[in-house]
């Protein structure tokens, strides 16, 4: 396994490179882009350590390593899609609960708490 | 003539309280059903097919340490089954576009998920056990994202 000190240094360098990359490519949203990328790097750290170790031992080719790292990008897109889908589901649930609340409240008021028509009609 | 307190009021039809209450109920129920949902409801077939395709994909991956040609027929059958399933998901309507996009991304041959894996297997002939092991986890997780979204849709 690569020395922990070396690995941590590599992660630190990567963080610095991410900031530079964000500065150069997405100037307007630099802070947000850099924060997102750093969060991703933290999530990937465990996998990166394992893959780096396998690459060092020649158990993975450089192409395989690249393929694995690039798969993280598509995995992130999948997560984003799932989150946006879940947001829509939650909005539907909120709307459903909102209307149920209105209906229940008004029924309680006009029909009485038992939901029955009063005898005065 | 007193304009403020006319002796004769216009004759409106008198509605009973029950009729007014019924009108309220109809109006409210109609209002709640008029506001369209943003996501299609849960579909048991889509959920089960998602799980079956995940198992099939992981089985296929287990064979990737052997030559692609040995599994080519199975891979073609699998790809056709996925295409049929994507068509099914598309037919559920445009409010199911997120799920359709997820399937397409997962199966994109130029991408780096299952479609890309199959492409790499074909190009390289066969893959190392270690790559397959590492990638299986990734693919399993990404199938789970589609399955989990389907499971959260309103039942």
SS3 B152: helix
Q: Establish if B96 belongs to a structural domain.
A: yes
Q: What is the total residue count of chain B?
A: 155
Per-window interface: B 44-103 vs A, CB < 8 A: 95, 98-99, 101-102
| Per-residue tokens: A76 | 């992130």
Q: pLDDT tens-digit profile of B2-49?
A: 555 555 555 555 667 777 777 776 776 666 666 678 899 999 999 999
Contact call for A77 and B98, based on CB within 8 A: no
| Per-residue tokens: B13 | 């039809």
Q: Establish if B39 belongs to a structural domain.
A: no
Interface test with A, best of B26, B39, B41 (most A CBs within 10 A): B39
Contact call for B154 and A81, based on CB within 8 A: no
Interface test with A, best of B112, B123, B124 (most A CBs within 10 A): B112
Cα(B94)–Cα(B58) distance, rounded to whole angstroms? 29
Q: pLDDT tens-digit profile of A58-109?
A: 999 999 999 999 999 899 899 889 988 998 998 888 877 777 777 777 677 6
Q: How many CB atoms lie within 10 A of CB B84?
A: 11
Q: Establish if B138 belongs to a structural domain.
A: yes
Q: pLDDT tens-digit profile of B63-120?
A: 999 999 999 999 999 999 999 999 999 999 999 999 999 999 999 999 999 999 999 9
Q: Establish if B10 belongs to a structural domain.
A: no
| Per-residue tokens: A40 | 């991703």
Q: State the residue range of the domain holding B78.
A: 44-152
Per-window interface: A 63-82 vs B, CB < 8 A: 64, 67-68, 70-71, 73-75, 77-79, 81-82
Who wins on pLDDT, A22 or B89? B89
Q: Establish if B141 belongs to a structural domain.
A: yes
B143 to chain A: closest CA residue: A78
Q: Establish if B133 belongs to a structural domain.
A: yes
CA distances to A5, A18, A38, B2 from A11, rounded to whole Å, are 10, 10, 10, 90
| Per-residue tokens: A19 | 């900031």
Look up the pTM and report it: 0.77
Largest CA distance in chain B: 104
DSSP secondary structure of B97-123: HHHHHHHHHHH-TTSSSHHHHHHHHHH
Q: Does the interface ipTM go beyond 0.85?
A: no
Q: How many domains does chain B have?
A: 1
Q: How far is B125 from chain A (nearest CA, A)?
A: 14
Which among A67, A75, A120 has CB closest to B142? A75
Q: Establish if B129 belongs to a structural domain.
A: yes
Contact between A75 and A49 under an 8 Å Cβ cutoff? The reply is no
Q: Establish if B111 belongs to a structural domain.
A: yes
Q: What angle do CA B141, B142, B143 make, to 5 degrees?
A: 95
pLDDT band at A113 (very low <50, low <70, confident <90, very high): low
**Residues 6 or more apart whose Cβ sits within 8 Å of residue B141:** A75
């Amino acid at each position: 396994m690569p020395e922990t000190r070396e690995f941590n240094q590599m992660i630190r360098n990567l963080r610095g490179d991410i900031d530079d990359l964000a500065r150069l490519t997405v100037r307007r949203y630099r802070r947000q882009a850099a924060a997102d990328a750093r969060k991703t790097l933290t999530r990937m750290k465990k996998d990166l350590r394992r893959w780096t170790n396998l690459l060092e031992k020649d158990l993975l080719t450089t192409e395989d390593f690249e393929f694995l790292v690039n798969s993280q990008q598509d995995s992130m897109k999948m997560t984003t899609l799932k989150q946006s889908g879940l947001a829509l589901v939650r909005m539907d649930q909120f709307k459903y609960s909102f209307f149920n609340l209105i209906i229940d409240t008004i029924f309680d008021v006009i029909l009485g708490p038992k939901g029955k028509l009063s005898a005065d009609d | 003539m007193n304009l403020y307190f006319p002796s004769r009021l216009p004759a409106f039809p008198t509605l009973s309280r029950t009729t007014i209450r019924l009108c309220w109920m109809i109006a409210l129920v109609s209002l709640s059903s008029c506001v369209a949902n943003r996501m299609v409801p849960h579909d048991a077939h889509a959920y089960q097919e998602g799980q079956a395709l995940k198992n099939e994909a992981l089985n296929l991956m287990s064979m990737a340490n052997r030559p692609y040609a040995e599994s080519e027929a199975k891979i073609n059958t699998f790809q056709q089954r996925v295409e049929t399933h994507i068509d099914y998901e598309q037919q559920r309507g445009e409010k199911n576009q997120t799920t359709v996009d997820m399937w397409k991304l997962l199966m994109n041959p130029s991408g780096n998920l299952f479609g890309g894996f199959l492409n790499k297997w074909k190009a390289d002939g066969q893959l190392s056990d270690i790559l397959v092991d590492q990638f299986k986890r990734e693919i399993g997780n990404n199938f789970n994202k589609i399955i989990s979204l389907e499971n959260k849709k309103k039942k």
